[in-house]
Amino acid sequence: MREKGSWSDTTYRARATVARERKSVTFEGEDRAKQGKGLDPLVDPAQYNVVRMSNNLLVPDGDEFVLQFGTAMPVKTDLDTTGSMGGNVEVAFKALPKVQDLLVQGANAVLKRYHVQIQTCVVQDQGDQFPFQSTQFEPDNEVERQMGLLVPERRGGDSTEDYQLGLFAAGYLTKTSIVNYGLKGYYFIVGDEIGRDELDARGTLLRKVFGKEVMEKAFDSKKPQSLPTLEQIAKKVLEKWHVFFLQIGSQGSTTNWWSNLIGEDRVVKLSRTEDLAQVQACIIGLTEGVIKPKGIPEFLKAIKTDGAAIARITNDLAGIPVGMQTALPNFDKIPTPGSRFKNREDIWPIDASGKMPKKKPDGKKSASNIGL
């Protein structure tokens, strides 16, 4: 049984040693691809029922079920691995100990009240063999193991990358428990380019990546006559996720494209990729209300960040939304570790009398929590 906090630094270090010896974090995925075996099913978006899930872990206990580790919180990161971005999986792998400390296990962890489940995706070009890849949502050392199954092709392609595939997956091919409570998960996109302005009209690329049943999986019985526009996809994503584009480099056209798509305040200049873990933690902390804007330097200092990095990160995060999660319905009402449920499919736990409370997300929205 996987447990919250069961991520092992020792296990991670052992894998990191092998990766150094093989000169690649993703040597397993790359070896498999060279042998003509395709993607490992765990990172192939067309496998495991296509739809990725981040669910509450309910453990049987007599006639009831216990939520042992808190409400599931998905953290999804799409990594551009084309051209000069080819080393992004390596960067994310090296950041994992910090990520685990800052999000989950450390004294100042910003998502400590949740059961954090991490997904890593690769975004490439439609001309690549594997334009998009996605791990499962995992809470432990499966995170880095599945990272090793990814296949960054590191090719150039054109200047437009296929970020729309990750957006489509987040909006239409992902189911998370957190949205049942009116809250949102965290979705980061790391890259340096613009995306494509639309899906291919026939859905050919979607079928190549997600399989022939992608339309049925995405839209159930309500299959649309035409595919959603990029703006519609972004709106759908913003209903379920706190989305941030972490821009590497300072290309103005990239900043403008993403600002128009998801909002100017959600585009963050990532001055150094080595800051990835700290930047993600600060963004989440600000959104969750556990860090105040003026408290960023103190938070970073507490995790032994040097002065130059503190100044750099504080500047990078100026102007992003603050407290957005706290304004959403049921922020303080989500089930806590130890809550008991009558059925595995239930959203809300039974109360002290053993009865199901009649609670549902109230659906109220303020100006600060409307998606766009």
In a domain, 357, yes or no: no
Among candidate residues 52, 290, 43, the one with its CA nearest the CA of residue 151 = 43
Domain of residue 76 covers: 9-341
Q: Looking at residue 245, which CATH number applies to its domain?
A: 3.40.50.410
Is residue 356 predicted with pLDDT exceeding 60? no
CB 63 within 8 A of CB 106: no
pLDDT digits (tens, 9 = 90+) for 152-172: 999 876 679 999 999 999 999
In a domain, 359, yes or no: no
User: Which one has a higher pLDDT value, 1 or 72?
Assistant: 72
DSSP category for residue 104: I
In a domain, 169, yes or no: yes
Say which residues have a Cβ less than 8 Å from residue 303's Cβ, sequence separation at least 6: 98, 101, 102, 106, 108, 278
CA distances from 167 to 118, 142, 161, 229, 317 (A): 16, 23, 12, 11, 23
How far does CA 187 lie from the centroid of its chain?
A: 4
In a domain, 170, yes or no: yes
Average pLDDT for the chain: 92
What are residue 117's DSSP bridge partners?
74
Q: Using H for helix, E for strand and C for coil, what is the string for 121-187?
A: EEECCCCCCCCEEECCCECCCHHHHHHCCCCCCCCCCCCEECHHHHHHHHHHCEEEHHHHHCCCEEE
d(CA 262, CA 268): 12
The predicted structure's pLDDT at residue 6: 77
Give the torsion sign (CA, 8, 14, 17, 23): negative
3-state secondary structure of 309: helix
**With pLDDT > 90 as the criterion, what percentage of the chain qualifies?**
86
d(CA 27, CA 43): 14
CA distances from 249 to 3, 17, 200 (A): 38, 30, 28
In a domain, 259, yes or no: yes
Backbone φ and ψ of 188, nearest 5°:
-115, 135
In a domain, 349, yes or no: no
Name which of 155-164, 203-212, 314-323 the model is least confident about: 155-164
The mean per-residue pLDDT over the stretch 68-93 comes to 96
What are residue 119's DSSP bridge partners?
76
The predicted structure's pLDDT at residue 369: 31
pLDDT digits (tens, 9 = 90+) for 22-75: 999 999 999 999 999 999 999 999 999 999 999 999 999 999 999 999 999 999
The predicted structure's pLDDT at residue 222: 75
In a domain, 158, yes or no: yes
Say which residues have a Cβ less than 8 Å from residue 368's Cβ, sequence separation at least 6: 321, 323, 324, 327
pLDDT digits (tens, 9 = 90+) for 94-111: 999 999 999 999 999 999
Is residue 297 predicted with pLDDT exceeding 60? yes
In a domain, 233, yes or no: yes
Going by pLDDT thresholds of 50, 70 and 90, the confidence category of residue 229 is: very high
Our count of domains for the chain comes to: 1
